[in-house]
A and B are shown apart, each in its own frame.
Chain A
Amino acid sequence: MTRFQRFPTAPARLVLAWRAAALVAAALIIGLLLALSGRNVFELAVLVLKSTIGSRFGLEDLALFMTPLILTGSAVTVTSRIGLWNIGGEGQFYLGAIGAAGVGLYMPGSPIVVLPVMAVTAMLCGVAWIAVPTLARAYAGVNEIITTLLLNFVAGLLTYWLATGPWRDRVTGALASTGRIHVAIPEFWGVVHWGFPIALLVAGGLAAIMTWTSWGYEVRISGANPGAARYAGMPTRARIIAVMLLSGALAALAGMFEVAGTVHRLQGGMADNFGYLGIVVAVLARRSCLAVIPAALLMALILDAAIVLQTRQLAATVVLAITGLVLLLIAIGDELAHYRPVTPAVRLPPSAPVATPKVTT
């Protein structure tokens, strides 16, 4: 009898196969729902392809979406290497934006000086924002999922308050926004700024650190088997603290890029779910720092497609529903990849007479 048995590891080809199946299933469900609401699915699909990968404009948009997604995705990936979840990318993104905007608005000087100061300030703000959840996790074992998440709402309100209150635009009187920041990350290809290649380099650098340095090795072991790591004399607590602070800095850098490269001001609601979508990117990347790049590309494609759907009278938040569906199906697919058919080596001939023990009294 062949039966399916769960194995502790999932081979990469099975994971890929199940994920492809999950994505196809998601596309079918979305297509079915769109068809049920009376839309021409085929025409929509062509339109989506044309306006994402079929045009220069679409490709530029993809790169712009990918930049923050790679960084917030990396932020979640590094914590997942040590077995933790940083769900607070959204908040750290806001703090990075706040730090960058604060420097950009009030520090005069040439971009060569101001931009690095903006980046460093942003990352320090992100580190400060994740510090309390980090220390609570490392020293008191407080669940980091909830603590990092709650701070997202505080960060969103803080941004809104700064953009409408002390830092509001006094020149044009724009609502919920600061004035334009005088420095910007230069663009190199259409509207794509240098933040994109830097984000790619960051992802590559993280992969190198995790794979080839003893620090990365200790992080990976601390995540895979904390008991063994402690027994081997690895400073697991120090690694947890370092990894979480690094994660905060990465998400904050995404906020700095968004302020200095794309939006050029601080706005309420500007994080646009990039922090939360970073979680999806990290899940798609399966804890590999390098796989964050293709995962961010897929996520950017979904975001880009959603913008096209938006022009066809669909609510803006439909992208969240699509992301949720994809995430749910991929979570199921990843679990199914653990199952493989096994056939017991020893087989009884099906017609063999079963010896029944005689009960003698």
Chain B
Amino acid sequence: MIALLTGLLSTAVLAGGVLSLAAIGEVLAERVGVTDLGVEGLMSLGAATAIVTVMAVPDPWAGLLAALAVGALGGAVFAFAAVVMRANQVLCGLAITFLGLGLSATIGHSVAGMPAPVTFAPVRIPVLGSLPVIGPAFFAQNLLVVPVYLLLPAFFHWLLFHTRHGLNMRAVGENPAAADAAGIPVVAMRFCYVVVGAALAGAAGAYLSLAVIPSWSEGMVSGRGWIAVALVIFAGYRPFNAAAAGLLFGLITAIGFLGQARGWPIAAPVLNMLPYLGTLAFIILPVVLWKRMRRVMAAPAALGVPYYRSVR
């Protein structure tokens, strides 16, 4: 029983890291008032870039770095259109998703289906790694797991809720006109955090192709980016909640894997529906069942609304 639980949690932690990383990035973009629907495309770009990079330079950190850079570049294109030019954010996000999916297939065409030469291998952290259940699940995995679930959320939580800079960020997302009047550079702030969030989405792609499924194939992201966007709503725009939500969906995925491995009498495609149906249930049910949730977990007031200084 303990072995089963440990196995399930380990798979969940590994698979959920992709969603956590991307969701934390999206939290940043949405906190400053920009809906970035390009996550799916940016993740795909990151995944393909990471594999192509490690084929040339056999070091997973090089792959991660390249994916971060490509994510940031894609984010800069999105932010130029949606923040600087103030074009419709939904359209720009969809455009970046299309662009990312199309370009990643072109980039990864020559390496499709090949196994990654190097991956983020599991490393056992002394002392913590020998804890029961939690030890193998969190502290005997690849070196990205602790940053993804603890360090990054802790840092961004501190930044958002315990610094003046974070207060400014949230002000830009809630009321950009007031923030502007107070001397906060709205456009620069939005641009900057959209790019950081997009870089994290790229990194999530590298995590997927270097740690979860160590290879590149077209369509391997298969909606994980969209799930990450949905998790941000479920997580109430908070970094720790986003990481926890990623873990929860890792768990749903792990249950699907377990079902396939144990030969449950349910077809594999039906088990694969679980993460999508789970996400759907988790964004609809809380709002329906618990009305107060709408206020506690409300979206930033200016989310998705371009800011024009001249509008009075």
Contact = CB atoms under 8 A, between A and B. Distances in A.
Contact of B106 (A132, A152, A279, A318): A318
A334 B98 contact: no
Interface stretch (B9-17, B60-68, B220-228, B257-265): B220-228
A336 B227 CA distance: 32
A237 B277 CA distance: 25
Contact of B279 (A150, A165, A276, A336): A150
B241 interface: no
B242 to A, nearest CB: 15
Contact of A161 (B90, B267, B280): B267
A242 interface: no
A160 B311 CA distance: 50
B305 interface: no
A324 B284 contact: no
Contacts of B227: 150
Contacts of A217: none
Given A157-B272, A324-B98, A335-B85, A317 B91 contact: no
B267 A154 contact: no
B226 A320 contact: no
Interface string A271-295: 0000010011001000000000000
B310 A165 contact: no
A331 B81 contact: yes
B105 interface: yes
Contact of A150 (B90, B98, B223, B272): B223
Contacts of B99: 320-321, 324-325, 328
Given A147-B284, A328-B81, A328-B92, A157 B270 contact: yes
A315 B100 CA distance: 14
B280 A147 contact: yes
B246 interface: no
B75 to A, nearest CB: 13
Q: Describe A's contact surface by its main secondary structure.
A: helix
B280 A335 contact: no
B81 A141 contact: no
Interface in A318-353: 318-325, 327-328, 330-332, 334-336
Contact of A320 (B85, B98, B294): B98
A145 B90 contact: yes
B283 A142 contact: yes
Contacts, number: 140
Given A132-B280, A317-B218, A334-B88, A153 B223 contact: yes
Contacts of A320: 98-99, 101-102, 105
B296 interface: no
A46 interface: no
Instruction: Tell me which of B91, B294, B311 has the highest count of chain A C-beta atoms within 10 A of its own C-beta.
Output: B91
Contacts of B223: 150, 152-153
Contact of B87 (A136, A141, A142, A331): A331
Contacts of B165: none
Contacts of A334: 87-88
Contacts of A39: none
B86 interface: yes
A354 interface: no
A314 B109 CA distance: 9
A164 B268 CA distance: 11
Nearest to B102: A321
Contacts of A317: 101-102, 105-106, 218
Interface string A148-173: 01111110011011001100000000
A55 interface: no
B125 interface: no
Interface of A: 5-6, 85, 87, 132, 136, 139-143, 145-147, 149-154, 157-158, 160-161, 164-165, 276, 279-280, 283, 314-325, 327-328, 330-332, 334-336
Given A136-B288, A146-B233, A331-B95, 18 more contacts: A141-B287, A141-B294, A142-B284, A143-B233, A150-B226, A150-B276, A154-B276, A158-B269, A280-B94, A283-B91, A321-B101, A322-B102, A327-B94, A328-B87, A328-B96, A328-B99, A330-B91, A331-B91
22 contacts: A136-B287, A136-B288, A140-B284, A140-B287, A141-B287, A142-B284, A146-B226, A146-B229, A147-B283, A147-B284, A150-B276, A150-B280, A151-B276, A153-B223, A154-B276, A279-B94, A317-B105, A323-B102, A324-B41, A324-B99, A327-B94, A328-B91
